[in-house]
């Protein structure tokens, strides 16, 4: 079997990341995931886990925790989704204070191992269930001390929720996937809080009252210990230099100052607070992480596609903002961290996102708007996105794909301008592939 054949096999299973309309409750069933893992002697029970959900910031927070545990010398797995360029990005492994992606050869070997048992099943798993199984099997075979797992969608019914984590993290909650998770913050929070287990430790970002109430009630019911950024954990920005945030964090137990990280924005400082809270919470299990690992771990975070500058003259920024709240945070960060004459917005959004909300936030800072679409069935048509843009005085251009959108932006831009490519991680992934066709995701270009 070759690597393309292994990926082709995985992609032969239904992939809900590429479908915008489906029945959430019938598509996601933990019983099916549990049965699947039982075929491989439940690998998810063979490592300590840290589980993270949220609407925005859960991937960044997962990368922070992974980087800190790596610097502490543990064998650590990181499971995230979606990927930007290659499926392998979803599975990282760290040993001896260095990390890498799962290799193509390892993917092939695992697919060959799991395929005979999968073929024997009457009810076939989804792509995400299958890849989650592959990841957990890989981490168990590599004797990982910890696995940091990002929830794919929601929490309660997500395939990753077979884990029994030491610590759960809940990053900022806002409206997303309302057709599946519910159209109130209460309903969304209930789905997210489905990852909280009996007697575990929970760390949360500051939340709206509606969501906070659900978190409080769930922790009380589950007898889980709760820590909150803004109540038990505090942060303060000291400043920023180049592409680095410099900040101070007061954790539950210790203070860390000054910390540096290559992720910009107040929202990333909040995520850093959640990450510190989870790292410190391991003390309740007699696991103590040295402060040196925390300082170095923050410095070495690698999480591309989040307020990432990839070009100069003109400046080119990539960001995966894909709902109103993250678009608002992006707008605030662009104004704060970057100087430019004109902002050219290259925007593509998925059908199931808050298109009107994203457009309202980002059109406010755009001098020119180029609408595009990712090569994904969930991508909305540029002319339909245009119909959601209200009260903008910007010139709006329609393009057929991301490459065409980028080329048009580069033709329009002068050296002192800024090109902002955003609206979807699918768009960001295609932009990265355009700028770095030979780029290996294991290292920054």
Tell me the mean pLDDT per 10 residues along the chain, length 445.
95 87 81 95 98 95 98 98 92 96 97 94 92 98 98 94 98 84 92 96 97 98 98 96 92 97 94 98 98 98 92 94 91 93 97 92 95 94 94 91 97 97 95 79 45
Residue 201 near residue 236 (C-beta atoms within 8 A): no
Sort residue 313 into left (φ over 0), alpha (ψ -120 to 50) or beta: left
Cα–Cα distance measured from residue 274 to residue 220, given in angstroms and rounded to the nearest whole number: 20
Partners of 49 in the β-ladder: 147
Q: How far apart are CA 324 and CA 360, in angstroms?
A: 8
As given in the structure block, the two tokens for residue 444 are 């920054």
Spatial neighbors of 419 by CB under 8 A, at least 6 apart, are 311, 314, 315, 316, 317, 344, 346, 406, 409, 410, 413
- 177: nearest Cα among 331, 328, 351, 61: 351
Which residue in this structure is represented by tokens 């995230």? Answer: 80
pLDDT of residue 440: 46
Domains by residue range for the chain, with CATH: 3-299 (3.40.1190.10), 308-435 (3.90.190.20)
* SS3 of residue 266 by DSSP: helix
Q: What whole-number distance in Å separates Cα of residue 47 and Cα of residue 44?
A: 7
CB neighbours of residue 340 within 10 Å: 19
Residue 341: the pLDDT is 97
Are 337 and 329 a contacting pair, CB within 8 Å?
no
The pLDDT, as a whole number, for residue 443 is 47
CB 203 within 8 A of CB 227: yes
Q: What's the whole-model pTM score?
A: 0.93
The closest alpha carbon to 161, from 16, 34, 271, 54, belongs to: 34
| pLDDT at residue 25, as a whole number | 76
Name residues whose C-beta falls within 8 Å of residue 387's C-beta, 6 or more positions apart in sequence: none
Contact of 69 with 147, CB cutoff 8 Å: no
Question: Cis peptide before 314, with omega less than 30 degrees from 0?
Answer: yes
Rg over CA atoms, the chain: 21
Q: How far apart are CA 135 and CA 107, in angstroms?
A: 9
Q: What stretch of H or E contains 93?
A: strand 91-95
| Residue 352: alpha-carbon gap to chain centroid | 17
């Amino acid at each position: 079997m070759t690597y393309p054949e292994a990926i082709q096999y995985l992609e032969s299973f239904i992939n809900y990341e590429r479908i915008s309309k489906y029945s959430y409750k019938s598509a996601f069933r933990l019983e099916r995931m549990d049965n699947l893992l039982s075929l491989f002697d439940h690998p998810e029970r063979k490592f300590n886990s840290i589980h993270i959900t949220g609407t925005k910031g859960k991937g960044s927070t997962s990368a922070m925790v992974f980087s800190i545990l790596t610097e502490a010398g543990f064998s650590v797995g990181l499971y995230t989704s979606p990927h930007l360029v290659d499926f392998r990005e979803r599975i990282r492994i760290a040993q001896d204070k260095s990390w890498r992606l799962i290799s193509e050869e390892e993917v092939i070997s695992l697919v060959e191992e799991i395929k005979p048992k999968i073929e024997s099943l009457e009810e076939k798993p989804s792509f995400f269930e299958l890849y989650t199984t592959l990841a957990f099997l890989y981490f168990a075979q590599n004797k990982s001390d910890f696995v940091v797992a990002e929830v794919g969608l929601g929490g309660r019914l997500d395939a990753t929720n077979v884990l029994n984590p030491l610590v759960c993290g809940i990053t900022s909650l806002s409206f997303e996937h309302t057709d599946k998770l519910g159209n109130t913050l209460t309903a969304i929070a209930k789905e997210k809080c489905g990852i909280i287990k009996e007697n575990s430790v929970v760390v949360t970002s500051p939340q709206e009252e509606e969501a906070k109430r659900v978190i409080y009630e769930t922790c009380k019911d589950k007898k889980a210990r709760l820590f909150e950024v803004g109540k038990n954990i505090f942060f303060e920005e000291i400043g920023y230099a180049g592409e680095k945030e410099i900040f101070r964090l007061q954790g539950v137990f210790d203070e860390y100052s000054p910390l540096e990280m290559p992720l910009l924005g107040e929202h990333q400082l909040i995520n850093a607070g959640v990450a510190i809270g989870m790292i410190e919470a391991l003390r309740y299990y007699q696991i103590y992480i040295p402060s040196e690992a925390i300082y170095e771990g923050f410095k070495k975070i690698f999480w591309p596609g989040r307020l990432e500058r990839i070009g100069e003259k003109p400046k080119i920024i990539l960001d995966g903002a894909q709902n109103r709240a993250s678009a608002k945070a992006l707008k605030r960060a662009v104004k704060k961290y970057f100087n430019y004459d004109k902002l050219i917005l290259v925007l593509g959004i998925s059908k199931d996102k808050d298109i009107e909300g994203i457009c309202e936030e980002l059109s406010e800072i755009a001098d020119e708007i180029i609408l595009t679409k990712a090569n994904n069935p969930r991508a909305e048509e540029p002319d339909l996105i245009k119909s959601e843009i209200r009260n903008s005085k910007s010139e709006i251009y329609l393009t057929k794909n991301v490459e065409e959108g980028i080329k048009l932006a580069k033709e329009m831009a002068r050296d002192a301008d800024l090109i902002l490519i955003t609206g979807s991680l699918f768009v960001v992934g295609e932009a990265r592939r355009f700028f770095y066709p030979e780029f290996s995701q294991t290292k920054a270009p």
